[in-house]
Amino acid sequence: DVQLQAFGGGLVQSGESLRLSCRVDAFRSADYAIGWFRQAPGKDREGVSCIDTYDSRTYYADSVKGRFTISTDNAKNMVYLQMSSLKPADTAVYYCAANAGRLWDSMCSAPNDYPMDYWGKGTLVTVSS
């Protein structure tokens, strides 16, 4: 099994930046697709950004393109989400997740219908106006 834990959430003002980190506790994290997801109160879980560690292909939700960047450090079993130009609409609990196998866009774009295999505890990001 794979264990994941997200870190780095906090309270920031609109327009500021924040970097989230996720430790992936697995034998070989490079064999997985990994993603960042978020859920705001009263709303469904939303895919933010995902990466296929096999070939580094990435996916971004339209709402975060140009503002968020996903990256990995396989040697350290870490995944990061660099968030810039944050907006109040970005306020949510952010989760990292992993799937055994290649990345399919639907795993990121429709996580409630096509969930990844493993989920970690989230970290809260609050953006004030």
The DSSP output letter for 109 is: H
Classify the phi-psi angles of 77: left when phi > 0, otherwise alpha if psi is within -120 to 50, otherwise beta.
Answer: left
pLDDT of residue 74: 79
Q: Give the number of other CB atoms < 10 A from CB of residue 81.
A: 24
H helices of the chain, where? 105-109
Residue-wise pLDDT for 18-31, tens only, equals 999 999 887 565 67
Summarised one tens digit per residue, pLDDT across range 71-86 is 998 788 899 999 999 9
Residue whose pair of structure tokens reads 């971004």 in the numeric block: 60
User: Which tokens go with 59?
Assistant: 């996916």
Average pLDDT over residues 40-60: 93
Lowest mean pLDDT across 10-14, 17-21, 107-111: 107-111
Averaged over 125-129, what is the pLDDT?
A: 97
Rounded percentage of the chain residues whose pLDDT exceeds 90: 70
